[in-house]
Amino acid sequence: MTFKPYQLDRTLFEPSFNVAPSQPQLVLLRDDRGVAGRGMKWGLVPAGDHGRARTALVNARAETADVMPLVRDAFRHRRCVIVADGFYEWRKDGKSRQPFFLRLKGGRAFGFAGLWERNESGDETCTLLTTRPNELVAPVHNRMPCILDREPAARWLDAATGSDRLKEMLLPIAAAGMECWPVSTFVNSPANDGPECIVIAAAIAD
């Protein structure tokens, strides 16, 4: 992605290896002045909900985002790109759950297709959209985030992009451009952060 935001929250430039819901995310959005980069709490609180955390949406299904009452207006008017360079999914192994780290090959940054809201107090929150898994993610989980790479991210933010074109951008990204590996259950706790979160599990065991 290549953007030159007129506003940029540099407090979110510190690397985080284990971002959890309710924590701030670096989010790109477009307004009348151009592209802005701001911090938003992960977990969208619908407008008029007065900040009640029980209704915060960590993710929403891409297939129904344009008609789902809680997010359809945001889908039309408040789309955003949530900046990331990887994510975790958990595979069920019997009674346990094995975490995996997934990213684009080489570890370059990308964006999750997201939606955002602002409440009456001016607080801004966001959610990411999910779609069916590609061939790499499917053995791990039955859903995956909608990943926007480079040019699609700009079109996602463009208010002129039509609904049909938007839905086309929410299909699974090609598996050939991704990589993943198992990591330690150290990542299961949001209190744990640091490079050890993404170390291959076998290496930790050794």
Give the range among 10-14, 17-21, 140-144 with minimum mean pLDDT. 10-14
Identify the residue whose tokens are 């924590």.
23
**pLDDT tens digits for 145-180?**
999 987 899 999 999 999 999 999 999 999 999 999
CB of 172 closer than 8 Å to CB of 131: yes
pTM, to two decimals: 0.90
Q: Is the pLDDT of residue 72 over 90?
A: yes
Least confidently predicted of 4-8, 71-75, 122-126, 193-197 = 4-8
Phi and psi for 155 in degrees, rounded to 5? -70, -35
E strand or H helix at 204, and its extent?
helix 201-205
Kindly tell me if the per-residue pLDDT of 205 is higher than 50: no
Find the farthest-apart pair of alpha carbons in the chain and give their distance in angstroms, rounded: 54
Q: What percent of the chain has pLDDT over 90?
A: 73
Under 8 Å between Cβ of 156 and 166: yes
Rg (CA), the chain: 17
> If you count DSSP H runs as helices and E runs as strands, how many of each does the chain have, helices first?
4, 12
SS (H, E, C) 130-150: EECCCCCCCCCCCCEECEECC
